[in-house]
Amino acid sequence: MPSTVLVGTQWGDEGKGKITDLISRDFDYVVRFQGGNNAGHTVIHGDTKLALHLMPSGVVHPDAVPVIGNGVVVDPGVLVKEMALLEGEGISCDKLRISCDAHVIMPYHKALDGAEEKRLGTNQIGTTKRGIGPCYQDKAARRGIRMQDLLDEKIFRLKVETALAQKNPILSKIYGLQTYTVEEICEEYLPYARILRDHVWETAQLLSKALRQGKNILFEGAQGTMLDIDHGTYPYVTSSSCVAGGACTGAGVGPGEIGRVLGIQKAYVTRVGGGPFPTELKFAEDGGTGQDAADGETLCQEGHEYGVTTGRKRRCGWFDAVIARYAAQVNGLTHVALTKLDVLSAFDTIKVCVAYECDGKEYDYFPMQQSVLFHAKPVYEELPGWKGHDLSGVRDYMELPVNTRRYIEYLEELGGVPMSLISVGPDRDQTIIREDWLEAEADMAR
Ligand code: IMP
């Protein structure tokens, strides 16, 4: 079983960083395969917490090779800053490999991301404004600029010139924004090329060779299944393939190489940005009232639900088993890591959404039409909580309070996937590792 894909099963922010950090020491390569610096994960190095956006989390483990795959969009300025931050902490980035085919986020992508959001007004997606969508648009339109282009000044100048002939009129005539010159872009970007040159690689070949040598690869997903461009709540999604299949196209490996698919599932759900969210407990400032608004606020405060990338307060809601089942299906999950379970210790009772109701019809599956999702009312089961029990020190599953185990086993039954890792606090060691995971680890070592 050479490789594992780790994916978010909700709308991102499921706590992927901690689980990646926990398991990545067992891997020879840690690969990002989609997204860009719209992601945000905190990794722990000694006593220091580092907020990373683009770098694979595996960079903190000296034995792992961190790889940025072809499916990622790279803002070179952000990458260079992250490398400096890590080097400043004594973490070497020498082994970092960046795909020569990864697309480069340009200054006009960032300007267009903001302008397009403004144009959408109340229908805006709530993007991170990092230029992610416009960069993927250019990739699909076959006019993007790739890392390999950045390394060749002549080609880079030519490509920038061609791009600006299309972008400048859009920026000035449609959005009334400033235009760019080839010179100013080259002045900013060519120095990045000098720093990144030795890291740009044929990464698909590198990984293929590693697999032939029996090395273990961890594919580290960003965002989450419900933000996937194909399978998420379109158009309120990001622009890349966040599901497990994205690891194949975004890194250049065949599906047969994927042995294990680990879905990260938070014990409740959060979402940033716009779009449908059936179990949302609206905050008072968003028009919420009563117990729901109070419960949403408790989840936000107890779970520290503020974005690493944008600092925005995340929308919060109860666990949604409809999307959990859907995520199990579209990713082919073999295992689940349940995160932030300790946050639920604040409640007397805990709700779980088992189906949606819309126009008198009940859906226990992900509805085909977006309009159903927008109007769906959650059908809840209410379970007894374990208030007063501190879970943070528990390492053995059987030492969890009986109601906590009932909650976990109920989620397992609804989702159909074993919850093999259970996180009860932010630190790496605050994790319950169950038997089936240890068995899979032993298999991998064989
Ligand atoms: P974009 O990826 O910046 O284009 O934003 C598209 C949508 O995805 C917005 O709703 C963002 O809030 C959301 N999004 C992007 N990255 C993340 C993430 O890492 N966690 C959670 N939501 C994200």
Measured from the CB, is residue 126 less than 6 Å from ligand 1? yes
What is d(CA 250, CA 252) in angstroms, rounded to the nearest whole number? 6
In this predicted structure, the answer to whether residue 399 has a pLDDT above a threshold of 60 is yes
Q: What does the mean pLDDT of the chain come to?
A: 94
Looking at residue 50, its pLDDT comes to: 86
What is d(CA 111, CA 172) in angstroms, rounded to the nearest whole number? 11
Looking at residue 46, its pLDDT comes to: 80
| Residue 178 DSSP class | -
Which backbone phi and psi does 121 adopt, to 5 degrees? 55, -125
**By percentage, how much of the chain surpasses pLDDT 90?**
87
Measuring CA to CA, which residue among 269, 270, 300 is closest to residue 285?
300
Pairing mode, strands 65-68 and 315-317: unpaired
Q: HEC states along 311-353?
A: CCECEEECEEHHHHHHHHHHHCCCEEEEECHHHHHHCCEEEEE
Instruction: Give 128 Cα–ligand 1 centroid separation in angstroms.
Output: 6
Measured from the CB, is residue 20 less than 6 Å from ligand 1? no
Mean pLDDT value of segment 24-28: 89
- What pLDDT band is residue 78 in, cutting at 50, 70 and 90? very high
Looking at residue 121, its pLDDT comes to: 92
- What pLDDT band is residue 2 in, cutting at 50, 70 and 90? low
Measured from the CB, is residue 132 less than 6 Å from ligand 1? yes
To the query of whether residue 53 is one of the catalytic residues in this protein, the response is no
Pairing mode, strands 217-220 and 29-32: parallel
Measured from the CB, is residue 15 less than 6 Å from ligand 1? no
What is d(CA 213, CA 207) in angstroms, rounded to the nearest whole number? 10
Pairing mode, strands 361-363 and 349-358: antiparallel
What is d(CA 263, CA 250) in angstroms, rounded to the nearest whole number? 18
Q: Which of 13, 113, 149, 228 is catalytic?
A: 13
**Hey, how many other C-beta atoms are within 10 angstroms of the C-beta on 209?**
11
Nearest CA to ligand 1 atom 8: 238
- What pLDDT band is residue 103 in, cutting at 50, 70 and 90? very high
Measured from the CB, is residue 125 less than 6 Å from ligand 1? yes
Instruction: Give 136 Cα–ligand 1 centroid separation in angstroms.
Output: 14
- What pLDDT band is residue 57 in, cutting at 50, 70 and 90? confident
Cα 191–chain centre separation:
29
- What pLDDT band is residue 368 in, cutting at 50, 70 and 90? confident
Q: Name the residue type at position 423.
A: S
Looking at residue 19, its pLDDT comes to: 93
- What pLDDT band is residue 257 in, cutting at 50, 70 and 90? very high
pLDDT tens, 305-357? 998 767 889 999 999 999 999 999 999 999 999 999 999 999 999 999 999 99
Residues ≥6 apart with Cβ < 8 Å to 302? 343, 346
Looking at residue 196, its pLDDT comes to: 98
What is d(CA 316, CA 133) in angstroms, rounded to the nearest whole number? 25
Of 43-52, 262-271, 435-444, the range with the highest mean pLDDT is 262-271
Mutational test site, ligand 1, from 42, 73, 223, max ligand atoms within 8 Å of CB: 223
In this predicted structure, the answer to whether residue 108 has a pLDDT above a threshold of 60 is yes
In this predicted structure, the answer to whether residue 244 has a pLDDT above a threshold of 80 is yes
Looking at residue 102, its pLDDT comes to: 98
- What pLDDT band is residue 428 in, cutting at 50, 70 and 90? confident
Looking at residue 42, its pLDDT comes to: 79
Mean pLDDT value of segment 141-156: 97
Ligand 1 atom, smallest distance to 275 CA: 10
- What pLDDT band is residue 446 in, cutting at 50, 70 and 90? low
Look up tokens 């400033």; give the residue. 178
Looking at residue 370, its pLDDT comes to: 86
Measured from the CB, is residue 263 less than 6 Å from ligand 1? no
Nearest CA to ligand 1 atom 9: 127
To the nearest 10 degrees (0 to 180), the angle between helices 153-169 and 107-120 is: 20
Mutational test site, ligand 1, from 103, 116, 124, 127, max ligand atoms within 8 Å of CB: 127
Mutational test site, ligand 1, from 9, 34, 38, 125, max ligand atoms within 8 Å of CB: 38
Alpha helices, DSSP H, located in 55-202? 76-88, 107-120, 132-140, 147-150, 153-169, 182-196
Instruction: Give 122 Cα–ligand 1 centroid separation in angstroms.
Output: 17
Q: Which of 21, 41, 138, 231 is catalytic?
A: 41
Measured from the CB, is residue 4 less than 6 Å from ligand 1? no
Mean pLDDT value of segment 181-201: 98
To the query of whether residue 41 is one of the catalytic residues in this protein, the response is yes
Question: Could you give the domains of the chain?
Answer: 3-100+200-262 (3.40.440.10), 103-195 (1.10.300.10), 265-445 (3.90.170.10)
Q: Is 55 helix (H, G, I), strand (E, B) or coil?
A: coil
- What pLDDT band is residue 239 in, cutting at 50, 70 and 90? very high
Measured from the CB, is residue 127 less than 6 Å from ligand 1? yes
Give me the DSSP letters along 223-252: S-GGG-TTTSSTTSS-SS--STTHHHHHHT
